[in-house]
A and B are shown apart, each in its own frame.
Chain A
Amino acid sequence: MVEGEEIRIGVYVCHCGINIASVVDVKKVVEEASKVPNVVVAKDYQFMCSQPGQNMIVEDIKQHNLNRVIVAACSPRMHEPTFQKAVERGGLNPYLFEMANIREHCSWVHEKEKAAATDKAIKLVKAAIAKARLLKPLKVEKVKVIPRALVIGGGIAGIRASLDIANAGFEVHLVETRPSIGGNMARLDKTFPTLDCSQCILTPLMVEVSKHPNVTLHTYTDVVGIDGSVGNFKVKLLKKPRYVDESKCTGCGTCVLKCPWTAPNEFDMGLGKRKAIYFEFPQAVPLIPVIDTGHCMYFQKGTCRACERFCPTKAIDFNQKPKEIELEVGAIILATGYGLYDVAKAMPEYGYRKYKDVITGLELERVVSATGPTKGHILRPSDGKEPKKVAIVLCVGSRDEKHLRFCCRFGCVAGIKHAYYVVSHIPDAEVYVCYRDIRTFGKGYEEFYERVRNYENVRFIRGSPMEILQDADGGIYFDVFDANTNRVVTLRPDLVVLETGIVPHPTFKEVAKVLKCAIGPDGFALELHPKLRPTETSVDGVFLAGAVQGPKDIPDTVAQAGAAASSAIALMSRGYVETVPYVSSVNEDLCSGCGICQPLCAFDAISLVKKEDGKEVAKVDVSKCKGCGVCAAACPSGAAQQLGFSDGQILEMVRTLAR
């Protein structure tokens, strides 16, 4: 485009099948648009984003000498890049393009007001035309991507993503808040529907990731700060003190044996005990113990030091301090996983934490595990006896308007697996599975359900317990209305297992806050597009793996971890990112050097410089400018302008829409 050249605009109105055309009279929009000065071509087409639709733009630019293009279709957040590329193929600068959102902001939200929706669409198109007249070509710069990734969360998602990135030849830093990697999967005894031993398939990966030459493991470490943007993130980690020198410790476990103090075992969900100096679990990676200062007598009362005395390598260090680590990475993968819904607090009617023999599914996993509190024997917590009658309750907190509206996606099959645990450990036990619907969507899940359903001593009751109560003799019982038989059944189980709903891991909220990535209404990370961009977040260069995005079983988690890793690899192997073109620019002739803009900039991108004639003017460092336009909004002389969003452009839109 040459300065002073005649403005020639092409307007393209998309039907989006019938998504737009069934509400908005697209022919009328075209007719009105073609009357507007400078509009040379106005057309409608069934699918503008299709290849013929895009080609139409490319051809018209050449044939009609267009120098501005407007597409009235879906949200620019959806297809702006698609059409910008088409405009570029036509030989124009991609920023000589403007979009009018007549789908998300019009046809889809005014479905029953066709005339008004058509009028609105015409207005939106006219506003786009008004802005387009003043558009200028913009330039994008290329910035190098640091070929190093950060993975937050050391569960199966984080481990898988780290390995994939490391195997592609890139450096990875894997951060885990707990003393060992492994996450929730390490707690499971078996995985459905194949009944693989969970540890047997997980621990080799834990070892592999910890030994991989491209992986640096940061366990017992929190992410405390993240700055910068895609390609160039600056990360601050805080390594919590273990009070054990990792370089000296051999993991022999003498300290744990000699420690006289105990505390509830978090890994066993509080069911068993562990020492005040402890390994998180026997296969922990790294196999280095941690001192829990809250239960260590030395930290509490200043005496004991048994661990220090017996340590053969003198690895105990009571003076260890938290250590700050700074990293520069190009891509970040969030894999913070899930936590359990607080059923004790939110659903007191189920008596969890009130009655010892009401446990969660994850607790049953620990009970069944050979390394768990009962060494793999199913014994009920209250008296250590083998339960002969077990009730398994599905959908506890899930799919419930008062609690969590969403499905946890693994509770049903986990519950079926738990029924299998009980009958395989205690062949003469009776199991009652209280369900609302059985959802067995995964590969092999329905077959597994059928297998367990056919056991003689496993019964399925369609209904949720009303309230779990206790007898005078201490036994628990509840009534449940069985919708299959239209009868109220009273059950007196020895053990109740609650398949609880899940929530984002508590660490997620903090990380999301420092990253400024969007959170969905369910509290999980919001993906960029639910179908087409499920691993990306609203922040470029930050990807999602596993349950951080929403409830997932292990196969889905692993699949998404691979997808997140490949997105990160693609970014790093390309090696550069394009900067936003919408940066600020100061017209030095207009700038009075007042300096109002400088302190307003949140990115320290503006400085005042002296020109040769002695006049002070504001100068924008475009490598730091993120393109918010705060400075331009504050400039009293209109000298600071945001490219692509100049005062003139926006005011033209305002005037068009206000009239």
Chain B
Amino acid sequence: MGENFEPKIVVFACNWCSYAGMDLAGTSRIQYPHNLKVIRLMCSGRINPVYILEAFANGADGVLVTGCHPGDCHYISGNYKTRKRVMLLERLLEQFGIEKGRLRLEWVSASEGEKFANIAKEFVEQIRKLGPNRIAEELRKEVAVV
């Protein structure tokens, strides 16, 4: 940890609102940290909690889940399911030794490029404070022992 720590952050985005909002940040040239890397899905409701666990197990320091605002889901209610799944998973993560704050859920609409950039900056700062996710390394050690 220290000055050189560059958090690795996996972002999930729905195609209709959040991914479009991130595109807008791009076309508006709003700068944000390079640490976030986005996986595009059609709907945030596609996110199997296993993806988030897999990200942490493979070394991600943070996971950002984004979707349409409540009521705006392109598929009517996918984002409500996401909200439930993320809330439930947040409780489990702590039991796995993954600190609170490494997983975040945000609603980003197609017009909220600036909002996304602000979330990105904030989240990277938050993860910097938390430091590297140690779970991946521990898992690797355990696997080595087995």
Contacts and interface: CB of A to CB of B under 8 A. Distances in A.
Contacts of A629: 41-43, 45-46
Given A110-B31, A538-B20, 11 more contacts: A78-B23, A104-B26, A104-B27, A108-B27, A119-B34, A518-B16, A603-B75, A628-B78, A629-B45, A633-B48, A657-B10
Nearest to A124: B37
Contacts of B73: 516
Contacts of B43: 628-630
B25 A626 contact: no
A103 B26 CA distance: 7
B105 interface: no
B129 interface: no
B122 interface: no
A630 B42 CA distance: 10
A76 to B, nearest CB: 7
A630 B58 contact: no
A72 B65 CA distance: 23
A180 B50 CA distance: 56
A632 B48 contact: yes
Interface of B: 8, 10, 15-17, 19-20, 22-23, 25-27, 29-32, 34, 37-43, 45-51, 54-60, 71-78, 81, 85, 109-112, 117, 136
A626 B81 contact: no
Given A647-B50, A654-B55, A657-B60, A628 B23 contact: no
A178 interface: no
B16 A538 contact: yes
Nearest to B32: A109
Interface stretch (A206-214, A360-368, A374-382, A519-527): A519-527
Contact of B59 (A116, A521, A538, A659): A659
Interface string A478-518: 00000000000000000000000000000000000100101
A658 B22 CA distance: 19
A627 B15 CA distance: 11
Nearest to B110: A518
Nearest to B45: A630
Given A111-B31, A630-B78, A651-B51, A104 B22 contact: yes
Most buried by B among A109, A110, A521, A645: A109
A334 to B, nearest CB: 16
A74 B140 CA distance: 36
Interface in A616-659: 626-630, 632-634, 642, 645, 647, 650-651, 653-655, 657-659
B39 A127 contact: yes
B58 A116 contact: no
B38 A658 contact: no
B111 A116 contact: no
Interface of A: 75-78, 101, 103-106, 108-113, 116-117, 119-120, 123-124, 127, 513, 516, 518-521, 526, 538, 582, 600, 602-603, 626-630, 632-634, 642, 645, 647, 650-651, 653-655, 657-659
26 contacts: A75-B19, A75-B26, A104-B25, A109-B32, A111-B31, A117-B34, A120-B37, A123-B37, A124-B37, A518-B110, A602-B78, A627-B42, A629-B41, A629-B43, A630-B75, A630-B81, A632-B48, A633-B45, A633-B46, A654-B55, A657-B10, A658-B56, A658-B57, A658-B60, A659-B8, A659-B59
A311 to B, nearest CB: 45
A645 B20 contact: no
B81 A633 contact: yes
Contacts of B45: 628-630, 633
Given A602-B78, A645-B42, A647-B50, A77 B111 contact: no
Contacts of A117: 34
B29 A516 contact: no
A-B CB proximity, top 9 nearest: A104-B26, A629-B46, A628-B75, A658-B58, A628-B43, A658-B60, A630-B45, A602-B76, A108-B26
A357 B1 CA distance: 69
Given A108-B27, A582-B42, A633-B85, A602 B75 contact: yes
A655 B37 contact: no
A520 B28 CA distance: 14
B13 to A, nearest CB: 10
B38 A101 contact: yes
A521 B113 CA distance: 10
A456 B78 CA distance: 64
Contacts of A526: 110-111
B77 to A, nearest CB: 5
Nearest to B38: A105
A105 B71 CA distance: 26
Nearest to B54: A654
A655 B54 contact: yes
B133 to A, nearest CB: 9
Residue among B56, B59, B73, B111 with most chain A CB within 10 A: B111
Contact of B34 (A113, A516, A630): A113
Contacts of B60: 654, 657-658
A516 B49 CA distance: 26
A469 B10 CA distance: 58
Nearest to A513: B71
A290 B74 CA distance: 38
A123 B55 CA distance: 14
